[in-house]
């Protein structure tokens, strides 16, 4: 079997990117595989390629609706029709029909939460699954313990599905996270393909300010200093909106905001406009980016601090996917640490919330929680959706234990996670203040050595932001496409989605 011939015939590429062929060969030998490949290195090919050789259904667990939609659309553009995304875009009737005919699809995309639905599991058990893929597998460790606990159950799901050949894909995972991924997925001695997280075409810059107004003024200067596409990251929805509005009011064109609090259709519209070049700049929370396959993002700016080094690498990794010079700029003001530390503190339930909620759940029974009672309990103890899911997940996991012991275990787990998350943040704060090479420090975090020094490395290595922005590749078309009206654009996208759904179920 000549893999290069299949690569050219099926995907139109002459050569594999680093790591791709090694992952594919491992899977074709029937070996479970953990692969860490840099953002933008073509990780999706690692499971799409084997699908055409194995000729069985491939189940892809994806963290975001936008990510699975984007990957499904790319497959369809290459002529692949046997692909389905089980998500909220499907009507109840279309979803029911799709589930009944899952065996007719080569690629099945869904979220970890979908795999908690008994009906879907029952249907998947009847399929011959050739490959079980966990895309963005670092989410198991990064999100699973805090607010998406269904990630922690993927190993049990894998067992229920008779342990199909498994591929765990990620771009950023320390050795500890790699171990956690293998443990939670119950992978025994998988093949490991670990490449460097270094993106040599991205320069790392940190700029410090004495006030918020200074930082905002600098942001204005920056966005007017280049003509390419950019993403500006914020830690709050309100800030993303207000800064986008401020920039618009001060003459910055083709800019908008994006966050998880927006209507789903509006988020999809903003994303499509950015992909098509109708928007040049997006002010966004971390909800934006993972599903955006735009290869010519030149600049990623952090107006607020990210939630740690892993999150930082994920977010700046959206820049320069075409391999051309790009830059990541972090704007820091003394005291900026307060917001991410506050978010970490508020994410998990307090001891009081744990005690009171566990007592109520024990009284009525964890499996007897009706929707009305859930609403009442959440209001009574001011629990967010994330906190409620977190508590109920662990109460179910420890349900055989004594009630008081369950409560103490949950309090201990919550405290441990808070300390771990704070430690990650503090290590990132130290990275901001380092006096030597930023790239070397990033690679050291992931236990990787820098093999070759970059000419355009970082501010600590003498790179000047203005000089770097001048040598960025120009994009004369960025943000200059004629924009349709909001309603025209949305109608066009929804019509396209309707056609895709019709094709999927025909």
Between 102 and 211, the higher pLDDT residue: 211
DSSP SS3 for 324:
coil
Report which of 500, 491, 493 is spatially closest to residue 98, judged by C-alpha positions: 500
pLDDT per position as a tens digit, 99-114: 888 888 888 988 888 8
Residue 433 belongs to some domain of the structure: no
Question: Is residue 253 located within the same domain as residue 308?
Answer: yes
Q: CA-based angle 216:219:221, to the nearest 5?
A: 115
Question: Is residue 183 located within the same domain as residue 246?
Answer: no
Residue 436 belongs to some domain of the structure: no
Bridge partners of residue 328, in order along the sequence: 204, 300
Report which of 25, 59, 20 is spatially closest to residue 43, judged by C-alpha positions: 20
Residue 169 belongs to some domain of the structure: yes
Q: How sure is the predictor about 505, in pLDDT bands with cuts at 50, 70 and 90?
A: very low
Residue 377 belongs to some domain of the structure: yes
DSSP SS3 for 204:
strand
Range of the domain at 138: 3-195
Sign of CA dihedral 174, 180, 181, 187: positive
- Which CATH number goes with the domain that contains 155? 3.40.50.300
pLDDT per position as a tens digit, 363-400: 888 877 888 889 999 999 999 888 998 898 889 888 88
Bridge partners of residue 132, in order along the sequence: 59, 166
Residue 506 belongs to some domain of the structure: no
Residue 435 belongs to some domain of the structure: no
Report which of 347, 329, 69 is spatially closest to residue 209, judged by C-alpha positions: 329
Question: Is residue 418 located within the same domain as residue 286?
Answer: no
Question: Is residue 125 located within the same domain as residue 32?
Answer: yes
Question: Is residue 189 located within the same domain as residue 87?
Answer: yes
- 219: tokens are 């942001």
DSSP assignment of 436-492 equals S-HHHHHHHHTT----S--SS-BGGGT--HHHHHHHSPP-TTTT-SPPPPHHHHHHH
Question: Is residue 102 located within the same domain as residue 191?
Answer: yes
Residue where a domain terminates, one of 195, 218, 246: 195
Q: What are phi and psi of 462, to 5 degrees?
A: 95, 5
Residue 180 belongs to some domain of the structure: yes
What mean pLDDT, rounded, does the chain reach?
86
Residue for token pair 């009706």:
370
Report which of 267, 338, 310, 330 is spatially closest to residue 490, judged by C-alpha positions: 267
Q: How long is the chain?
A: 506
Question: Is residue 392 located within the same domain as residue 279?
Answer: no
Between 1 and 230, the higher pLDDT residue: 230
pTM for the whole structure: 0.82
Give the model's pLDDT for residue 291.
61
Q: How sure is the predictor about 495, in pLDDT bands with cuts at 50, 70 and 90?
A: very low
Report which of 309, 319, 275, 254 is spatially closest to residue 69, judged by C-alpha positions: 275
User: Average pLDDT for residues 488-494, to the nearest whole number?
Assistant: 51
Q: Do residues 256 and 282 touch, judged by C-beta distance below 8 A?
A: yes
Give the model's pLDDT for residue 268.
81
Q: What are phi and psi of 203, to 5 degrees?
A: -90, 145
pLDDT per position as a tens digit, 442-477: 999 988 888 788 889 999 999 999 999 999 998 755
Residue where a domain terminates, one of 195, 215, 239: 195
Residue 434 belongs to some domain of the structure: no
Question: Is residue 174 located within the same domain as residue 118?
Answer: yes
Question: Is residue 23 located within the same domain as residue 81?
Answer: yes
Question: Is residue 394 located within the same domain as residue 261?
Answer: no
pLDDT per position as a tens digit, 264-294: 788 888 988 998 899 999 999 987 876 677 8
Q: Assess whether pLDDT exceeds 80 at residue 299.
A: yes
Measured CA to CA, the distance from residue 365 to residue 395 in angstroms comes to 10
Give the model's pLDDT for residue 191.
94
Residue where a domain terminates, one of 195, 223, 257: 195
In terms of average pLDDT, the best of 67-71, 81-85, 409-413, 482-486 is: 409-413
Measured CA to CA, the distance from residue 364 to residue 93 in angstroms comes to 34
Range of lowest pLDDT (75-89, 306-320, 480-494): 480-494
Between 145 and 99, the higher pLDDT residue: 99
Question: Is residue 160 located within the same domain as residue 60?
Answer: yes
Question: Is residue 110 located within the same domain as residue 154?
Answer: yes
Domain tally for the chain? 3
What does DSSP say about strands 83-85 and 255-258: parallel, antiparallel, or unpaired? unpaired
């Amino acid at each position: 079997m000549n893999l290069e011939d299949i690569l050219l015939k099926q995907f139109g590429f002459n050569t594999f990117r680093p790591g791709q062929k090694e992952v594919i060969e491992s899977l074709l030998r029937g070996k479970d595989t953990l692969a860490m490949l840099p953002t933008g290195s073509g990780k999706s090919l690692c499971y799409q390629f084997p699908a055409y050789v194995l000729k069985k259904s491939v189940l892809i667990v994806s963290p975001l609706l936008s990510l699975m939609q984007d990957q499904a659309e790319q497959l369809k553009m290459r002529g692949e029709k046997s692909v389905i995304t089980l998500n909220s875009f499907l009507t109840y009737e279309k979803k029911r029909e799709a589930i009944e005919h899952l065996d007719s699809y080569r690629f099945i995309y869904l979220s970890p939460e979908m795999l908690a639905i008994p009906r879907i599991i029952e249907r998947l058990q009847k399929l011959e699954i050739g490959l079980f893929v966990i895309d963005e597998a670092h989410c198991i460790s990064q999100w699973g313990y805090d607010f998406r606990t269904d990630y922690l159950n993927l190993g049990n799901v894998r067992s229920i599905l008779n342990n199909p050949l498994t591929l765990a894909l990620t771009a950023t995972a320390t050795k500890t996270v790699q171990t956690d991924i293998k443990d939670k997925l119950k992978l025994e001695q998988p093949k490991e393909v670990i490449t460097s997280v270094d993106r040599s075409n991205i320069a790392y810059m940190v700029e410090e300010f004495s006030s918020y107004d200074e930082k905002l003024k600098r942001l204005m200067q920056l966005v007017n200093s280049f003509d390419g596409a950019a993403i500006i990251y914020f830690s709050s929805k309100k800030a993303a909106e207000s800064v986008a509005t401020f920039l618009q009011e001060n003459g910055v064109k083709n800019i908008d905001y994006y966050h998880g609090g927006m209507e789903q259709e509006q988020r999809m519209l903003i994303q499509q406009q950015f992909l098509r070049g109708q928007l040049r700049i997006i002010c966004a929370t971390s909800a934006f980016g993972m599903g955006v396959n735009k290869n010519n993002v030149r600049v990623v700016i952090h107006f607020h601090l990210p939630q740690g080094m892993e999150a930082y690498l994920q977010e700046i990794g959206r820049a320069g996917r075409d391999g051309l010079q790009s830059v990541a700029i972090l704007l820091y003001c003394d005291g900026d640490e307060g917001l991410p530390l506050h978010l970490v503190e508020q994410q998990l339930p307090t001891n009081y919330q744990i005690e009171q909620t566990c007592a109520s759940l024990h009284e009525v029974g964890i499996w007897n929680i009706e929707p009305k009672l859930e609403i009442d309990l959440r209001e009574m103890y001011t629990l967010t959706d994330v906190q409620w899911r977190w508590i109920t997940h662990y109460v179910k996991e420890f349900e055989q234990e004594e009630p008081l012991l369950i409560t103490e275990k949950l309090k201990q787990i919550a405290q441990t996670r808070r300390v771990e998350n704070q430690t990650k943040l503090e290590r990132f704060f130290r990275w901001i203040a380092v006096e030597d090479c930023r790239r070397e420090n990033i690679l050291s975090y992931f236990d990787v050595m820098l093999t070759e020094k970059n000419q355009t490395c970082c501010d600590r290595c003498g790179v000047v932001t203005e000089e770097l922005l001048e040598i960025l590749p120009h994009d004369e078309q960025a943000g200059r496409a004629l924009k349709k009206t909001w309603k025209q654009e949305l109608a066009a996208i929804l019509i396209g989605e309707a056609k895709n759904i019709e094709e999927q179920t025909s």
